[in-house]
Structures are given as structure tokens and as C-alpha cells.
Structure 1
Amino acid sequence: MKIRKGTEADIPAIVELLKSSLGEGLIQKSERLWHWKHVENPHGASPILVAEDDGKVVGVRAFLRWQWVYKGQVLQAIRAVDTATHPDYQGKGIFKKLTLQGLADAKEDGIHLVYNTPNESSKPGYLKMGWFEMNRMALKLKINPFAYKRQASPEAPNQDWDKLASLLPQLSNPIAKAGKVQTLNSPAYMIWRYKDNPLFDYYFLSDYKSYVLFYRFKIHNFGQEMRVVDFLIDEKTFDKKAKNLLKTSFKQISNACFLTSASGRHFELASGIYPNMGFLPVMDKGPIVTLRNVSLSDEVFTMLSNQESWGYALGDMELF
């Protein structure tokens, strides 16, 4: 068995391995999804490692590239995501070999850190390999009991993506000057992340002049969730009139859902411009976040290990 870098020619075999090892689940596996996620990503193509035995791909480890900005520095990061081992080869340490080789390659490639959101069963393995458990993601939640068990998604306003694309270069993250870790945004990233996403349908609220708020719906047994994933503004033109327009359109969508969610960190840092998100306090109720230092100084990594240093939106951390 050998560990090597994956190539585009391996994609069909990788997709079949993911299906046989993990099943379809909530996220269907396909070559189209793999290309969008790991090849077309504006942050860069994903480093891929495969384990090969007698010419057959029996293990895969993908690291999604992501660029964060912190105090003026662009942090080159990778997110440990798609991983699979063929059922006949499980228990042979393939996951660990692929992960450790991935870390070695990351250091060579100038990557600063690795982050991911493991579940309780996979977290111990990461901690043994040097990952640090930061905390659970902070969430801001709003509950509307009158929409309990309501399954129908509210109708989205007209979605003119071409018109929005011309606005995006004027918009920025409202916490851009907060000195917190945030995604390196660009119009290309926003279009890739939300318009071209083959997994979920994303919608937006915008006046096509001063703001855009991206969201999607998720169905639960208790009803609909409106998930606010990103929020950008033009500071010069996002005035009282624009805020009231956003407030009205947001209320119409949110009131049709049992649950509305947003990033607790982003909400706290930009609470003055968010539309009404109710009275519940920000709670650390999201997924566990873990970090692994690759090439940062101990001082910088220590600061990043504190959730207060982060200003992520849900779209930055959402698993896809």
C-alpha cells in the first residue's frame, strides 16, 4: 500500500469510495460536487491524498482550502473534510497515515493552520494527533412558536443574481475593521459559495444598492429553520432607509419559520445592523471547533485558540 497525492483522474474512484464507505446520507456524493468543492474553490484547489493498494484507491483524505484574514494577515488554512476508508481496509491505520502525511505536506505548502468540526466519536482521534479543542460554535437563535411544525418554505423575493453580482464588489463584511478572524471575501467567493452551490439552494435579501443577506432553509421535525449564512454591506449607503427595508423583508421570511439562526460571533460584533433576532442570548450550542497549528508562532496560535478572536459567519463554518 502507498500514500500519494490524488489527481483529477482519481475523482471517479474517490466518489465511489465515498459512497461505499459512507453511503449517501444527507449530502449526496457526485463528481460534480467534488469538482465544485475541491477544484473550483476560489481559495484554491484542495490538497488530496489517497491510499492505493494494487492500483485500487482504498482510502482518501481531502483538505478544503480556506483563506482567513486576521489583523491584516491572510491565514492560509485547510479544513479536514472528506475522508473515507474502504470497508475491507478499515482498522489498518489508513486514516492516521493520510492525516499525518497531510500535515507534513501542509507545512511544506505554507499552510498556517488546520480547522474542522468533528463529532464526538472522531474528536478523540484528532486530539491525539495534536488538535486543540477551541469550543462549540456560538449561535444566535430566534424562535417563533407560532410556526411550530410548519414545513412550507416561505417564498423568497425575486433573486436577480446578475444584478447582485454587479453590487458585490462594493460590499464588505460589516466587521471588517473589528480585528477578528474572518473569511477573505471576494465576489468570486460569494458566487461560488452561494449561487453555484450544488448542494443547497441559497437565497438573498438585497436592495441591490447597499446590502445583501444570504440565507437558506433547513427542514427539521419541529419545522423550518432560516439559517443566516452571510451579511455584507456598503457602509456609505447602508442608511436608515436600507435598514428598515431589510428589517421588513427579513421579518416576512423569519416569521414563517420556527427557528432563525445566525453566527453568535458575527451577531455580537455587528449587532447594531442586524435585523431583529429576538431576545435569546448568544449560546455556545453549535458544533465543536478544533484547530491544529501547522506553521504559526505559538503566540498567534494561542490567540486563535480563543473563540473571542473569531468573527465567523455561519457560511464560513457550515459543513458542506
Structure 2
Amino acid sequence: YLLKEGDKVIGCDGLLPNELYVNGKTLLTAHSVKSMTHPDYKKQGIFRQMTENSCNRGLEDGVDVVIGLANDQSYPAYQRFGWPTLFEKEVYVKPILITNILKRRIKIGTLASMGNFIYSTYMKNKLKRSMDAEIKFEVLKRVPAEVQECWDKYKSKYRVMLARDYKYLNYRYNERPDVDYVTVLAKLNNEIIGFAILHNSVANGSKMTSAVEFFTDPENERFIKALAEGVSEYCYDNSLEYVVVGTGFYGKYKNVLLNNGFMITRKPPKNNMMIANVLSERVTLEELMGHEKWHITQGDGETELDL
């Protein structure tokens, strides 16, 4: 939605519609994205006007709840508008190659490279010894239709998350024209028991990947660990320096990741405050409140490369 003064755009706001799975119900939600006000029009109520317009239009289109991951600039405004805070999002990172980290600390390139070689060789061998021999991995350039079976199998074990069915994943990743994604499938007895979708990029001079999707049985520590190790193996094979994963607090994800080489990022992501505006009676704020209820990934909203 654009707000204009004559031919000049002075504000914009967008709604990204998704199906939201809440305690067995499938609702229509919309992420509030790309909210901006022209700098010459600050503190004139433009942001509030755009936000109210988006919610009214969403209500007309059948949206049950508008959600957003607010940054430090927009969050105080949403608080003034009365939008409740659902939780503060956490993100986890695992270092794979540490040459750049060592260069920043010891300033000598050859020593940094030597230290990285020793570290990465040790960690890669440790990973190989740890990996589940019965679970196999397949790396694809597209999201296959078979992920629907994985979604159907495990969705009832979750409380709150965006629907990760093939319809959504195909639209969100296969059909996006400007970014190439990698899909890592975890299989047990030729059956998909989990999948991760990766967005490779360069951030702060480091080659990295963001796990925009990371999905398996939320209560199965074996499957979560295996999926994390499959992603780590992909990173070693492709010389990526680190991997970023966001999962929410639901299930065993956080504990398993933190016990397998991941750590909470030292600084929170830029868009870290999860807010909501409930528009219909099909869902209550109580059902949505709390990070422990949510499975939320880097692919949600505008957080794909939010580091």
C-alpha cells in the first residue's frame, strides 16, 4: 500500500499473507512488511495512518491476525498503537570455518589459516563420527513435492506456526525469481523425516547460510540432531563459514541445537520483537502469546538474512 502526496510517495506498508496453524485451526494471517515513511514526513502520523489502513484492508480480505517482527525503530510506535508483544525472537548460530574470526583477533593471515585448518578438520571429523548412520541426506536445488508428506505427518505436533505445506514452500522458494535456495532432505528408510531450506549469502565479508526453513518432528531429538548435522555437513562441503537457524522455543529444537555446536547470537537480530493485532474472533491473543508456543524460522517475514 502506497501513500502519496500528489505524485510523491510519502509512505508504504505491505501485508504478506500466509496460512497460520494454531492448535489445529488453519487461519489467515499476514506479516506486516516493508513499513517505511519518507524522512521529510516523520512525526506527522503517517506510520499510524499506513498501519491502520493495512489492518482495515486485511480485515476486508479475511485476515484473522496481522503479525510482524518489529525493529528498534518501529517497535515503540507499535507499542503506542496498542499492539501486544508476543515474544522476543532468538536466533542460533554455528561457526563452521573460523579463518575470518581468527584474522580479526590475531591479525596474522597465515596463523589464522593454520588455526582454521586445525579447528575445521577436528570438527568435521567429530561431525562424521557423530552422524546417524541410518539417516541419509539429499541436497536439491528445488523444494520437492514430497515435503508435503513430512508436513502432514508432523503438523499436528505443533501449536503455532505458519503452514509449511508444499503449496506455501513452492510459492515462497521455488517461484521466487531473485534468490536460489538449497533444500536438504533428511531420510530414514527412504522416508522424509525432516527438511531444511537454505539461503546462501555473504554477510560482513563471510560466506554463510541462513536456514530459512528447518522442520521435523519437534519432539524427536534424534531427528532434530540429524537435520542440524546434515546442514552442518553441507556447510563444510561448500566452504561456508557459519549457519544461522531460528526455530522458536516450541519442542526440543533449542536444547538440541545448543547441545550440538550452536549458540545464541551475541546480539539479537534486528527484527526481533514479535507483535500482533488480532482482527477476528477465530483466534485469541492468549493462543498466540509466548515464544514457547511458536515454531518460527528465518523465512518468516523479512528476517531471511536478518543477522
Q: TM-score, normalised by structure 2?
A: 0.67
Whole-angstrom distance in 2 between the partners of 1:168 and 1:88 = 47
Which residue number in structure 1 is paired with residue 231 of structure 2? 250
Whole-angstrom distance in 2 between the partners of 1:79 and 1:61 = 11
Read off the aligned partner of 1:220 and give its amino acid letter: A
Read off the aligned partner of 2:83 and give its amino acid letter: W
Which residue number in structure 1 is paired with residue 44 of structure 2? 92
8 Å Cα contact 2:66-2:277 kept in structure 1: yes
Read off the aligned partner of 1:291 and give its amino acid letter: I
Structure 1 residue ranges without an equivalent (≥5)? 1-48, 151-156
Whole-angstrom distance in 2 between the partners of 1:225 and 1:132 = 33
Whole-angstrom distance in 2 between the partners of 1:159 and 1:299 = 37
Q: Which SS does the other structure have where 2:32 is aligned?
A: strand
**CA offsets, 1:180-207, max 9 Å, x none?**
2111122232122122223432112236
Shift of 1:158: 6.0
Whole-angstrom distance in 2 between the partners of 1:159 and 1:307 = 31
Do the aligned partners of residues 54 and 187 (structure 1) sit closer, same or farther apart at CA in structure 2, a change above 3 Å counting?
A: same
Which residue number in structure 2 is paired with residue 103 of structure 1? 55
1:73 aligns with 2:73: no
Which residue number in structure 2 is paired with residue 306 of structure 1? 290
Whole-angstrom distance in 1 between the partners of 2:164 and 2:214 = 11
**CA offsets, 1:260-282, max 9 Å, x none?**
22124278545799898415469
Do the aligned partners of residues 266 and 257 (structure 1) sit closer, same or farther apart at CA in structure 2, a change above 3 Å counting?
A: farther
Which residue number in structure 2 is paired with residue 22 of structure 1? none
Read off the aligned partner of 1:205 and give its amino acid letter: V
Q: Which SS does the other structure have where 2:157 is aligned?
A: coil
8 Å Cα contact 1:138-1:283 kept in structure 2: no
Q: Which SS does the other structure have where 2:148 is aligned?
A: helix
Shift of 1:129: 0.8
Whole-angstrom distance in 2 between the partners of 1:249 and 1:173 = 22
Do the aligned partners of residues 79 and 234 (structure 1) sit closer, same or farther apart at CA in structure 2, a change above 3 Å counting?
A: closer
Whole-angstrom distance in 2 between the partners of 1:317 and 1:56 = 27
1:138 aligns with 2:90: yes
8 Å Cα contact 1:178-1:269 kept in structure 2: no
Of residues 133-142 and 170-179 in structure 1, the stretch that sits farther from structure 2 once superposed is 170-179
Whole-angstrom distance in 2 between the partners of 1:307 and 1:142 = 21
Whole-angstrom distance in 1 between the partners of 2:183 and 2:159 = 25
Q: Which SS does the other structure have where 1:128 is aligned?
A: helix
Shift of 1:301: 0.3
Whole-angstrom distance in 2 between the partners of 1:59 and 1:243 = 42
Shift of 1:56: 5.5
For residue 112 of structure 1, the aligned residue among 44, 48, 64 is 64
Q: Which SS does the other structure have where 2:52 is aligned?
A: helix
Which residue number in structure 1 is paired with residue 157 of structure 2? 178
Shift of 1:71: 0.8
8 Å Cα contact 2:71-2:273 kept in structure 1: no
Read off the aligned partner of 1:295 and give its amino acid letter: L
Which residue number in structure 2 is paired with residue 197 of structure 1? 176
8 Å Cα contact 1:139-1:284 kept in structure 2: no
Of residues 308-317 and 164-173 in structure 1, the stretch that sits farther from structure 2 once superposed is 164-173
Do the aligned partners of residues 251 and 97 (structure 1) sit closer, same or farther apart at CA in structure 2, a change above 3 Å counting?
A: closer
Whole-angstrom distance in 1 between the partners of 2:201 and 2:152 = 24
Whole-angstrom distance in 1 between the partners of 2:55 and 2:196 = 35
Q: How many residues align?
A: 260
Which residue number in structure 1 is paired with residue 144 of structure 2? 165
> Counterparts of 1:283-298 in structure 2 under 5 Å?
285-286=268-269, 287-296=271-280
Whole-angstrom distance in 2 between the partners of 1:319 and 1:234 = 23
Which residue number in structure 2 is paired with residue 82 of structure 1? 34
Shift of 1:174: 7.1
Q: Which SS does the other structure have where 1:214 is aligned?
A: strand
Which structure has more relative contact order (CA 8 Å, sep 6+)? It is 2
8 Å Cα contact 1:140-1:283 kept in structure 2: no
Read off the aligned partner of 2:155 and give its amino acid letter: A
Whole-angstrom distance in 1 between the partners of 2:215 and 2:283 = 31
8 Å Cα contact 1:141-1:277 kept in structure 2: no
Whole-angstrom distance in 2 between the partners of 1:172 and 1:266 = 19
Read off the aligned partner of 2:296 and give its amino acid letter: Y
Do the aligned partners of residues 290 and 267 (structure 1) sit closer, same or farther apart at CA in structure 2, a change above 3 Å counting?
A: closer
Structure 2 residue ranges without an equivalent (≥5)? 103-137
1:261 aligns with 2:261: no
Whole-angstrom distance in 1 between the partners of 2:291 and 2:227 = 29
Q: Which SS does the other structure have where 2:156 is aligned?
A: coil
Q: TM-score, normalised by structure 1?
A: 0.65
Do the aligned partners of residues 97 and 170 (structure 1) sit closer, same or farther apart at CA in structure 2, a change above 3 Å counting?
A: same
8 Å Cα contact 1:173-1:231 kept in structure 2: no
Shift of 1:100: 1.5
